[in-house]
Amino acid sequence: MTSTLLDGIVAHTVVTPRLTAAVFERPSESPTRTVVFIHGNVSSSLFWQPTMLALDPGVRALAIDLRGFGDSETLAVDGTRGVRDFSDDVATVLAELGLGAVNLVGWSMGGGVVLQYLLDHPDHVASITLVSPVSPYGFGGTAGPDGRVLNEENAGAGGGGANADFVARLAAGDTSDDPTSPRGIYRTTYVKDPSDTTYEDLWVESMLSTKTGIDNYPGDGSTAANWPGFGPGTRGVLNTMVPRHFNVSAITELDSKPPILWVHGADDVIVSDTSLFDLNFLGQLGAIPGWPGADEAPPQPMVTQTRAVLERYGNYEEIVYENCGHSAHLEHPDEFRAALTAHLK
């Protein structure tokens, strides 16, 4: 596919030893800093365009499509490596572009990708900005601020938890406004208030660029003895974020700790202490039958876990936006731009 570009954004194809990547750029004639944006799950760099265009002229803004998303090459995702397939891809793109230390911005799953990059390449990071990031302990299967793993099976996490109808609609390119269509999911979970439809078709286009299948989104699964009866597999996107494969809390142990800005919405229903995508929380609500109770399957306190890790990290700032869901850069663009600009300085 060829993605829709806004005026002022140019697209590049960057060929690396690992993959052929699509990179969007808002050029700067005399850049004083470079900002690299990493999108989240079921999205692409299209979501970053208005933010890139709004930055100061002295900023060179780049956004990289991860493998299996947007216009980048569709390659298998090895879930057992956590998000390292993605972060290693980012590393090879930045190396190919000849960039030194950059300012990284990661949204949702992309937040996990940039933290993994920080762990593996701390000297190549000038700053980090996290927008509603996945917990440092992954998505599902942990409890408490310290990310205690509930069971070795990681029951309830991974590829088996995807909504099959949503996956089928992604594969079919569904642009309808049905509740489980990409547009419906955007309206009910990506943002708190979907009334601004200026770029909605572009956001749906971005979501529909997600490559589906066992090796991409959502991935495979396994059976589990613990409730709700399934666990993660080893292939595909959702398995990269299960606690068996993903844990970036070791950023607290780095010798060099670049500043981190963490922004998130008070009304986020995806990454939250009460996430509607957390099967344990849905079980507590009674939406999934058979929930064994909070001792065995407590909801994951995702925001609390992130805060606990960043407090140990030390060099961070947290901003919470009211009346905001999962996408502060879309829902509060002026405030987000101001916060990012101040952070870069």
Question: For 107-120, what is each residue's pLDDT tens digit?
Answer: 999 999 999 999 99
What's the confidence (pLDDT) of residue 1? 65
SS3 at position 190? helix
Query: Residue 191's closest CA among 270, 116, 257?
Result: 270
Under a CB-based contact definition with an 8 Å cutoff, are residues 32 and 103 in contact? no
Task: Look up residue 318 and give its amino acid.
Answer: E
- Residue 102: its pLDDT value, please? 97
User: What does the alpha-carbon distance between residue 339 and residue 127 come to, in Å, rounded to a whole number?
Assistant: 13
* Residue count of the chain: 345
User: pLDDT at position 160, please?
Assistant: 87
Q: Give the pair of three-digit tokens for residue 9.
A: 């954004």
Element (H, E) at 127: strand 125-131
Which of 114, 19, 14, 99 is closest to 61 using CA atoms?
99
Nearest Cα neighbor of 52 from 32, 38, 66, 40 is 38
Looking at residue 345, its pLDDT comes to 87
Q: List the chain residues with pLDDT less than 50.
A: none
Domains and CATH numbers, the chain: 10-344 (3.40.50.1820)
Q: Does the predicted TM-score (pTM) go above 0.85?
A: yes
